[in-house]
Structure 1
Amino acid sequence: MKTRPLLWTAACLLLASCHAGTGTAGSDEKSGPVPAAERRAAPDLAGDSLDGKPLRLSDYRGKVVVLNAWASYCGPCRAEVPELDAAQKHLAAKGVRFLGLDADSDTAGGRAFQRDHRLAYPSFSDPSGHQMLKFPRGSVPRGVPFTVVIDARGRMAHVHPGPVTEEELRDLVLPLTHA
Structure 2
Amino acid sequence: MLWTAACLLLASCHAGMATAGPAEEKSGPVPAEDRRAAPDFTGDSLDGKPLRLSDYRGKVVVLNAWASYCGPCRAEAPELNAAQKHLAAKGVQVLGLNTDTDTASGRSFQQDHRLAYPSFSDPSGRRMLKFPRGSVPRGVPFTVVIDTRGRMAAVRSGTITEKELRDLAVPLASS
**TM-score, normalised relative to structure 2:** 0.91
Letter in 2 for 1:80: E
Q: Which runs of 4+ in 1 moved over 6 A?
A: none
Q: Identity percentage over the alignment?
A: 81
Distance 1:53 1:117, change over 3 A: same
Aligned residues of 2:67 and 2:98 also touching (Cα < 8 A): yes
Residue of 119, 136, 140 corresponding to 1:140: 136
Deviating more after overlay: 28-37 vs 132-141: 28-37
Letter in 1 for 2:78: P
Residue of 74, 80, 93 corresponding to 1:97: 93
**1:61-86 deviation line (CA, Å, top 9, x unaligned):** 11100001000000000000111111
Letter in 2 for 1:17: S
- Structure 1 distance, partners of 2:156, 2:24, is 12
Q: What does 1:13-28 correspond to in 2, within 5 Å?
A: 16-26=11-21, 27=23
CA radius of gyration, larger in: 1
**Which runs of 5 or more structure 2 residues have no equivalent in the other structure?**
1-7
Tell me the equivalent position of 2:48.
52
The number of aligned residues is 166
- Structure 2 distance, partners of 1:107, 1:92, is 26
Aligned residues of 1:29 and 1:159 also touching (Cα < 8 A): no
Q: CA deviation at 1:165?
A: 0.5
**TM-score, normalised relative to structure 1:** 0.89
Distance 1:32 1:58, change over 3 A: same
Tell me the equivalent position of 2:4.
none
Q: Does 1:131 align with 2:117?
A: no
Could you say what secondary structure the match of 1:82 adopts?
helix
Letter in 1 for 2:144: V
Could you say what secondary structure the match of 2:127 adopts?
helix
**Which runs of 5 or more structure 1 residues have no equivalent in the other structure?**
1-12
Aligned residues of 1:25 and 1:143 also touching (Cα < 8 A): no
